Amino acid sequence: MRVGILGGGQLARMLALAGYPLGLDFTVLEPAQDACAGPLTQHLRAEYTDAEALQALAGEADCITYEFENVPAESVTRLDRQVHVYPPPHALAAARDRFLEKTLFNQLEIETAPFADVQDLDSLRAAVEQVGLPAVLKTRTLGYDGKGQAVIREEGELEKAWESIGAVPAILEGFVEFEREVSLVSVRSREGEVAFYPLARNHHSEGILRRSLSLDGDPAQQLAEQYAQRMLERLDYVGVLAIEFFQIGHHLLANEMAPRVHNSGHWTIEGAVTSQFENHLRAILGLPLGDTSSTGHAAMVNLIGELPDTRELLRLPGAHLHLYGKAPRAGRKIGHVTLVEEDRRILQVKLQRLEELVHGRGGESRS
Ligand SMILES: Nc1ncnc2c1ncn2[C@@H]1O[C@H](COP(=O)(O)OP(=O)(O)O)[C@@H](O)[C@H]1O
Ligand SMILES: [Mg+2]
Task: Tell me what pLDDT residue 148 has.
Answer: 96
Q: 271 and 150, same structural domain? A: no
Total tally of structural domains belonging to the chain: 3
Please give the single-letter amino acid code of residue 98.
R
* 44 within some domain: yes
Structure pTM?
A: 0.97
Q: 353 and 279, same structural domain? A: yes
Task: Tell me what pLDDT residue 361 has.
Answer: 63
7 in ligand 1 pocket by Cβ < 6 Å?
no
- 126: domain CATH number? 3.30.1490.20
Q: What is the DSSP code (8-state) at residue 265?
A: G
Q: 13 and 138, same structural domain? A: no
Nearest CA to ligand 1 atom 1: 175
Q: Which residues of the chain have pLDDT under 50?
A: 362-367
Q: Rounded to whole angstroms, how far apart are CA atoms 46 and 29? A: 7
DSSP 17-73: HHHGGGT-EEEEE-S-TT-TTGGGSEEE-S-TT-HHHHHHHHHH-SEEEESSTTS-H
Quote the ligand 1 centre to 234 CA distance (angstroms). Answer: 24
The residue range of the domain holding 45 is 2-85
CB 239 within 8 A of CB 260: yes
* 97 within some domain: no
Mean pLDDT of the chain: 96
* 287 within some domain: yes
Nearest CA to ligand 1 atom 21: 144
20 in ligand 1 pocket by Cβ < 6 Å?
no
* 100 within some domain: no
Last residue of a domain, one of 126, 143, 174: 174
175 in ligand 1 pocket by Cβ < 6 Å?
yes
- 63: domain CATH number? 3.40.50.20
Ligand nearest to the CA of 180: 1
CB 187 within 8 A of CB 240: yes
Q: 347 and 321, same structural domain? A: yes
For 346, counting Cβ atoms within 10 Å of its Cβ (0-12 exposed, 13-18 middle, 19+ buried), the class is middle
Atom of ligand 1 nearest to the CA of 138: 17
Nearest CA to ligand 1 atom 20: 144
* 95 within some domain: no
Task: Tell me what pLDDT residue 360 has.
Answer: 83
Q: 340 and 215, same structural domain? A: yes
* 218 within some domain: yes
Cα separations in angstroms, 125 against 150, 171, 173, 320: 15, 12, 13, 48
Q: Rounded to whole angstroms, how far apart are CA atoms 43 and 234? A: 34
Long-range contacts of 21-26 (CB under 8 A, 24+ apart): 22/278, 22/281, 22/282, 22/287, 24/281, 24/285, 25/1, 26/2
* 35 within some domain: yes
Best residue for ligand 1 mutational test, from 139, 255, 263, 333 (most atoms within 8 Å of Cβ): 255
Q: 6 and 33, same structural domain? A: yes
Q: 218 and 167, same structural domain? A: no
Give percent helix, percent strand, percent coil of the chain, each to the nearest 5. Answer: 35, 30, 40
Task: Tell me what pLDDT residue 212 has.
Answer: 98
Q: 244 and 167, same structural domain? A: no
Q: 241 and 151, same structural domain? A: no
* 7 within some domain: yes
Q: 51 and 135, same structural domain? A: no
Q: 190 and 169, same structural domain? A: no
Q: 121 and 65, same structural domain? A: no
